[in-house]
Amino acid sequence: MIITGNRERRVAIGMAAVLVVGGVLTGTPAVAGSAHPRVAVDRSVSTSYGSGGAVSSVDRSASEVGIQVLKRGGNAVDAAVATAAALGVTEPYSAGIGGGGYFVYFDADTGEVTTLDGRETAPAGITPDAFLDPATGAPYPFSPELVSSGVAVGVPGTLATWDTALERFGSLPLARVLAPAIRLANRGFEVDATFRNQTLDNAERFAAFPGTAELFLPGGDAPEVGTTFRNRDLAHTLALIALNGPEYFYEGRLAGEIADVVQNPRKDPDSSLPVPAGTLSIDDLAGYSVTEQAPTRVSYRGLDVYGMAPSSSGGTTVGEALNILENHELGSGEHLGSSLHFFLEASARAFADRGAYVGDPAFVDVPTETLLSQAFADARDCTIDPNEASERPVAAGALDGSGCSTVSFPEREDTENVSTTHLSVVDAEGNAVAYTLTIEQTGGSGMTVPNRGFLLNNELTDFSTVYNEDDPNRIEAGKRPRSSMAPTIVLDDGEVRFVLGSPGGATIITTVLQILINRIDLGMTLPEAVAAPRASQRNAAATPAEPEFIDEYAEVLEPFGQVLVPSGDTFTSAAQIGAAAAIEVEPSGRMIAAAEPVRRGGGAGLVVRDAR
């Protein structure tokens, strides 16, 4: 049933009331929320130890939603989708139904790992010159002009991912799993410094779109810390999706509204932003599909590391770097400088090969098997001097396997943004989910669908800005832009050992890689591995690093000629790299849920039964 006209909003309000007060059409109590209208955020619980299931994310309210689903009998997939929907409420600038992502699932009964590619796609009407200003023939300035535009919006895949995951692996219907997010959006959450600062960082862009300004800049200012932020428009939208199914988003009235906003951006006439229109249509939305595919897999120190295959570059790049490092004995103490040197050199080579070879496999012949082979990694490893940093950028590896030979490719700008969010879940039966989702830029395109409560992505800016026939990440209609999202599940003799991932654009890859090395090779506990300072070598002359990393490790890296520079990003002055969410299952069965203690305001790792 598709509801139209003024009745839509009345039914949405009524449906939201059913979901919030009495569960989803069954009389079952809703699975999350308290009687108090404000959800307090306790940042002190970034790590928990226990059993019965675990959830880790960047937001405590969202992690609590996932834990409540597990406590009420839902499995890892149910909890992951519920947590993701809640993150769309509390982290609206990083995730939501206007975006896409990658979902990695381990089934404890079958021992199989399955991935769902819910990446946004380029609309059928996009052209190779889509990012060029017709008035000048030159590329639009990347930010804020190109970012804040209809032409940057890809066909969203998040809702289709949720529906597919629940149909394939879940135990609860979508309507019931959306209930906690609807409740959270209605009752609101307490604004913290991160939410206010992200709003202020994007205030100029948000102000250019009246619908966005009305929602996120009430009275012309970002919500104050400590106040309650409610998004009842989003609650109504999710309630309608719960009632009508995903078809309402992809084929119903909402599909028409999304397409109209992209093709006719609602811009304040006083804004100086050009806001070029896009071509996304209702046919593009109706034709969207999630791709189920085999994961990437490498063996590292006797563990099986599974990740996301292209269109993401996360699995191949993390996997290649681990294969290179497999040749070296890493450790702390007197070996620390050498270990970090190899980490940086392996990362540089993996990124060189990522840029040369990885794109959407539906359009590009991606040599995934070669990139993940130990023979290829050995050939790349032989280009590393164990005592001296390479002159970077390094060349890509030759695919013909001829010794240490390399192939030169033109350098290409990587415009993938540092926002996004990640969640990790393990249930009592040992099923696990690593799920990274995004709307790209912090705040996405800056455009909301009026009165719908969610931001549209700007994911198409992950394509190369200038079209080149030899570029695997060139713009093409129906294509998925290359991503660095790297949701990862690590198995030990067929059972879950680690589940992890992070936001951070291209730094996602190095963050996941560094956490694995910290935990497996350098003797850190999982919470220590997540909290440790980070560096991100992405085949550049110098390595961007957090100030704490420079303070702690510059001295041991100096003999190797490794140059460290303070990290930052294009759009803010923040120097933090990533915001990871991880889980470890010890051989005893005890679970450790570890989220960031500080980065991006701190996260929350929670367990069903706390051992403390």
Catalytically annotated residues:
420
Q: Is 5 helix (H, G, I), strand (E, B) or coil?
A: coil
Q: For residue 608, what is the DSSP state?
A: E
Q: Count the Cβ atoms, other than its own, within 10 Å of residue 309.
A: 25
For residues 93 and 87, give the distance between their C-alpha atoms in angstroms, rounded to a whole number: 10
Which of 458, 437, 460 has the alpha carbon at shortest distance from 448?
Answer: 458
The contacts of residue 334 (CB under 8 Å, 6+ apart) are: none
The contacts of residue 272 (CB under 8 Å, 6+ apart) are: none
Which residue in the block uniquely carries the two structure tokens 């509390």? 90
Which residue in the block uniquely carries the two structure tokens 């497999």? 326
Phi, psi of 86 (to 5 degrees): -65, -35
For residues 129 and 136, give the distance between their C-alpha atoms in angstroms, rounded to a whole number: 12
Q: Where are the alpha helices (DSSP H) in 123-209?
A: 158-169, 174-187, 193-201, 203-207
Crossing angle (nearest 10°) for helices 374-381 and 314-325? 60
List beta partners, residue 48.
593
Tokens linked to 520: 């497996």
Sequence-ordered strand ranges (E) for 259-413: 291-293, 296-300, 303-307, 396-397, 406-407
CA atoms in the 13 A half-sphere facing the CB of 80: 37
Which of 515, 598, 591, 581 has the alpha carbon at shortest distance from 62?
Answer: 581
Is the separation of the CB atoms in 88 and 61 below 8 Å?
A: no
Tokens linked to 319: 């996997």
Report residue 596 CA to chain centroid gap: 15
Is the separation of the CB atoms in 512 and 447 below 8 Å?
A: no
Rounded to whole angstroms, what are the CA distances from 206 to 42, 93, 228, 546? Answer: 29, 11, 20, 29
Which of 70, 241, 193 has the alpha carbon at shortest distance from 608?
Answer: 70
For residues 62 and 82, give the distance between their C-alpha atoms in angstroms, rounded to a whole number: 8
Report the phi/psi class of residue 430: left, alpha or beta, with left for phi > 0 and alpha for psi in -120 to 50.
Answer: left
For residues 91 and 323, give the distance between their C-alpha atoms in angstroms, rounded to a whole number: 35
Q: For residue 154, what is the DSSP state?
A: P
Q: Is 612 helix (H, G, I), strand (E, B) or coil?
A: coil
- For 509-539, letters b (16+ CB in 10 Å) and e give bbbbbbbbbbbbbbebebbebbbbbbbbbbb
Tokens linked to 546: 């957090």
For residues 600 and 574, give the distance between their C-alpha atoms in angstroms, rounded to a whole number: 9
CA angle 417, 395, 550 (to 5 degrees): 55
